[in-house]
């Protein structure tokens, strides 16, 4: 082998290693909060815009009930996954914690969480890594500067994130599509 071919092989290996590192770094949110990225608005592996069937397979609730907010008709995950339902509210029971979701045409349009027991807080992390009862400083570190003090709001053109603070701790949050 010539020096030139060895150099070419080393250059390709370095490029491959660089690309591998870049791809693995993109597996989770990194850098600054992107208010236009729907995957920034989620908890426990589910996020706004995701199909309800996929979300249910990820979060695996102990119990789930869905009802149309206007007609009071019950809905199944399968029906919603096919695109049925304009304004369906779901109450998901995750062991002893309730997670509320809204679904429109099979997609999550709202995710709400509060009333989490302190010992379960780490289980309910946002997709940026913010756990229930984390400090206001941790909220700023992960999401940047938001609007408000007791209710901190982050807005993109299509999505909104609201975090409720009590005694400098995150005690509830809500992600909504506009």
Give the pLDDT of residue 3.
Answer: 57
Tell me: pLDDT of 14 over 80.
Answer: no
Residue 19 falls within a domain, yes or no? no
Parent domain of 144: 38-177
Contact 105, 83 (CB under 8 A): yes
Confidence class for position 130, pLDDT limits 50, 70, 90: very high
How many domains does the chain contain in total? 1
Sheet holding 107-114, edge to edge: 74-75, 63-68, 88-94, 97-104, 107-114, 169-177, 159-166, 151-155
Give the pLDDT of residue 129.
Answer: 95
Q: For residue 138, give the nearest of 125, 148, 147 by alpha carbon.
A: 125
Residue 18 falls within a domain, yes or no? no
d(CA 46, CA 61): 12
Residue 22 falls within a domain, yes or no? no
Residue 13 falls within a domain, yes or no? no
Cα end-to-end span (Å), the chain? 61
Mean pLDDT value across residues 1-20: 46
Residue 24 falls within a domain, yes or no? no
The region that residue 65 occupies, defined by phi over 0 for left and psi between -120 and 50 for alpha, beta otherwise, is beta
Give the pLDDT of residue 92.
Answer: 96
d(CA 167, CA 59): 29
């Amino acid at each position: 082998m010539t020096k030139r071919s060895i150099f070419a092989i080393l250059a390709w290996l370095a490029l491959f290693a660089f690309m591998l590192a870049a791809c693995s770094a993109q597996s989770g949110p990194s850098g600054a909060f992107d208010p236009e990225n729907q995957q920034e608005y989620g908890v426990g592996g589910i996020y706004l815009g995701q199909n309800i069937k996929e979300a249910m397979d990820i979060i695996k609730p102990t119990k789930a009930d869905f009802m149309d907010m206007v007609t009071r008709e019950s809905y199944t995950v399968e029906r919603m996954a096919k695109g049925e339902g304009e304004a369906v509210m779901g109450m998901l029971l995750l062991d002893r914690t309730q997670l509320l979701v809204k679904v429109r045409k099979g997609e999550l349009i709202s995710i709400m969480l509060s009333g989490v027991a302190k010992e379960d807080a780490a289980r309910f992390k946002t997709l940026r890594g913010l756990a229930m009862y984390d400090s206001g400083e941790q909220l700023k570190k992960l999401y940047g500067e938001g609007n408000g003090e007791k209710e901190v709001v982050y807005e993109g053109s299509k999505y909104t994130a609201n975090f409720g603070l009590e005694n400098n701790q995150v005690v509830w949050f809500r992600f909504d599509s506009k």
